[in-house]
Structure 1
Amino acid sequence: MASTSRGDALALPRVKCPNHPEAILVEDYRAGDMICPECGLVVGDRVIDVSSEWRTFSNEKALKDPSRVGDAQNPLLNGGDLTTMIGKGTGAASFDEFGNSKYKNLRNMSSSNRAMLNGFKEISNMADRINLPRNIINKSNNLFKQLYSQKSLRGRANDAIASACLYIACRQEGVPRTFKEICAVSRISKKEIGRCFKLILKALETSVDLITTGDFMSRFCSNLGLPKHVQMAATYIARKAVELDLVPGRSPISVAAAAIYMASQASAEKKTQKEIGDITGVSNFTMKQSYRLIYPRAAELFPSVFKFDTPVDKLLRL
């Protein structure tokens, strides 16, 4: 007979062998028995198997694990998605005399849950395209749910709201992305994402930190394949230009692009305006304007330890 350990009345009893209480029992999944490995005594039977009904392998691209316990609850959905799917009947008893199914599908998902699921799917797809981590996706999903529950942005496309939520989540989590980067993985225009962004901040009464040139510099330089000393010089140039108030009214992204161009032109790793523009999303004209503002004070902007391949007085004027 099986014996159980004494303990707190609220604690679940632990099945153990009466002859070898310290032995770790072996579970026979096929028979549903708990067996003592020391003496072979069956100390528990008819154990419920909650594992998968069949094996799955890592190289198989199965969308779901075929387990008996069903999908995990989604806390973002109303009611936790605790619904039931009734399969389509095939026998004669499943239809009435007019040929209509007797058993209706009771799992008709509510329109609100369906809309939220579509929004979550869109956020996940966009995040995957630009390799954003899971915490950004979760933050975006929570923002989307808040907006949908409050019905704050009626009349706006769900895709536009999802794109703006992803943009806000990136900034709030300290890994900002530009509007152009979000627009590149979305079907929504940059102008519409910007409008939703402002409406969301107002509706949720939240805020985001101001972006700076340093938020983008390491990623831009890494994508351009620039060495560490060029990245450090570009970061120093951009920060110094802002401190000296040389670029009033210019966006941090355009200042970062101009600083990268100046640092690369002074080094052996020269990059063209087009190469920098393709990575940063800044047009040649905008980059030129920012560069022309900082060029007259170029000698003051470089760090003292920077090793010039091209002297400051030889840099292009544009």
Structure 2
Amino acid sequence: MTDSRIQTRSGQRRSGEREEASESTDEREQCPECGGRLRSDSEHAETVCQDCGLVVEEGEIDRGPEWRAFDAAEKDEKSRVGAPTTNMMHDQGLSTNIGWQDKDAYGRSLSSRQRQKMQRLRTWNERFRTRDSKERNLKQALGEIDRMASALGLPENVRETASVIYRRALEEDLLPGRSIEGVATSALYAAARQAGTPRSLDEISAVSRVGKDEIARTYRYVIRELGLEVQPADPESYVPRFASELELSDETERRARSLLQTAKEEGVHSGKSPVGLAAAAVYAAALLTNEKVTQNDVSEVASISEVTIRNRYHELLEAEGSPVI
């Protein structure tokens, strides 16, 4: 008899809790002002009333993916966690890394035994990430590409393209007899020219660990064997960088572009170094717009001799019909 009373009371208590929960749920689903139905606006991260438009909650957490998919196939392809894959890492960024800080999740320092254990784990993790000579080669080369691109101020798309070119060279067995640094530098030089942000051989060799002659020789070999389509460097592509480093005005930059366009129409640019033409155009434009820039300043920025600048800027002014200053 006593057991039946206890069961009855517990059942009544549970039903009462369910009624309270349902009432609280109904309250959350109803507008506190007009009693209308609420809906969640994921685009603005808000909960609003459909009838009166009252914003009940705002700043909600978006639990959806950080990417957009427009069909089922694209959604399956992008279904992932973690950082996106990249060709700039030898394992495409799919492996794990063990942090170098000897601290636990709460920021406390590890004991000496735990530090030794973590160091052994880092060592074995590094060994497993580069299991053969090909992966070690790729890791070293991609590190070189990233270092040189950072020194030259090249954007991420150039680094990605250079990494792809080096991977192709490695897959097609173009490296025997050539240094890793030489092929990596050639890949970066080709990628920069393909992306329309070229760097001169002097600039490339200044940050590379190989000489200028080896870079040029390896570059010709790589683009020939891989069939890369690399257009001749346009002198105008150097002008913005030179003008920015010399702190020249937009008017001077436009004038330099105009000089180069006239030189192309007259055929003066044929057989001339694009870097030399760009530097001479910047110097000539600065003279025409009354900005104080010396040949030595332009020579240091462009990494070419003052003699080249003098010869080329005379030719550019003569092609345009302007008096030689």
Q: Which residue of structure 1 aligns with residue 68 of structure 2?
A: none
How many residues end up aligned between the 2 structures? Answer: 224
1:263 and 1:238 map into 2 onto residues whose CA distance is 10
2:141 and 2:184 in contact (8 A); partners too: yes
Q: Which residue of structure 1 aligns with residue 284 of structure 2?
A: 262
Q: Which residue of structure 2 aligns with residue 219 of structure 1?
A: 241
- TM-score, scaled relative to structure 1: 0.62
Q: Which residue of structure 2 aligns with residue 245 of structure 1?
A: 267
SS at match of 2:154: coil
Letter aligned with residue 110 of structure 1: D
2:284 and 2:200 map into 1 onto residues whose CA distance is 21
Asked if 1:171 is matched to 2:196, the reply is no
SS at match of 2:321: helix
Gaps of 5+ in 2: 1-20, 29-80, 99-112, 114-123
Structure with the higher helix share, 1 or 2: 2
1:247 and 1:290 in contact (8 A); partners too: no
Where in structure 2 are the equivalents of 1:48-87 lying within 5 Å? 77=90
2:296 and 2:306 in contact (8 A); partners too: yes
SS at match of 1:282: coil
Give the deviation of 1:136 after TM superposition: 1.4
2:260 and 2:316 in contact (8 A); partners too: no
1:73 and 1:82 in contact (8 A); partners too: no
Change (3 A) 1:70 1:238: closer
Asked if 1:132 is matched to 2:166, the reply is no
Letter aligned with residue 191 of structure 2: A
1:79 and 1:255 map into 2 onto residues whose CA distance is 40
Change (3 A) 1:297 1:143: closer
Q: Which residue of structure 2 aligns with residue 290 of structure 1?
A: 312
Q: Which residue of structure 2 aligns with residue 156 of structure 1?
A: 178
Letter aligned with residue 280 of structure 1: A
SS at match of 2:222: helix
Give the deviation of 1:70 after TM superposition: 10
Q: 2:254 aligns with which of 232, 236, 245?
A: 232
Give the deviation of 1:292 after TM superposition: 3.3
Q: Which residue of structure 1 aligns with residue 216 of structure 2?
A: 194
Change (3 A) 1:231 1:83: closer
SS at match of 1:168: helix
Give the deviation of 1:120 after TM superposition: 0.6
Q: CA RMSD in A?
A: 3.2
1:261 and 1:191 map into 2 onto residues whose CA distance is 29
SS at match of 2:177: coil
Change (3 A) 1:114 1:228: same
How big is each residue's C-alpha offset from its partner over 1:69-104, in whole Å with a ceiling of 9 and x where there is no partner? 99987766479876999xxxx9xxxxxxxxxxxxxx
SS at match of 1:174: coil
Asked if 1:275 is matched to 2:309, the reply is no
Asked if 1:209 is matched to 2:231, the reply is yes
How big is each residue's C-alpha offset from its partner over 1:114-157, in whole Å with a ceiling of 9 and x where there is no partner? 11000010111111112222221111111111111111131111
1:213 and 1:252 in contact (8 A); partners too: yes
Letter aligned with residue 199 of structure 1: Y
1:247 and 1:293 in contact (8 A); partners too: no
2:194 and 2:231 in contact (8 A); partners too: yes
Change (3 A) 1:226 1:286: same
Change (3 A) 1:82 1:272: closer
Once the two structures are aligned, what percentage of the paired residues are identical? Answer: 27
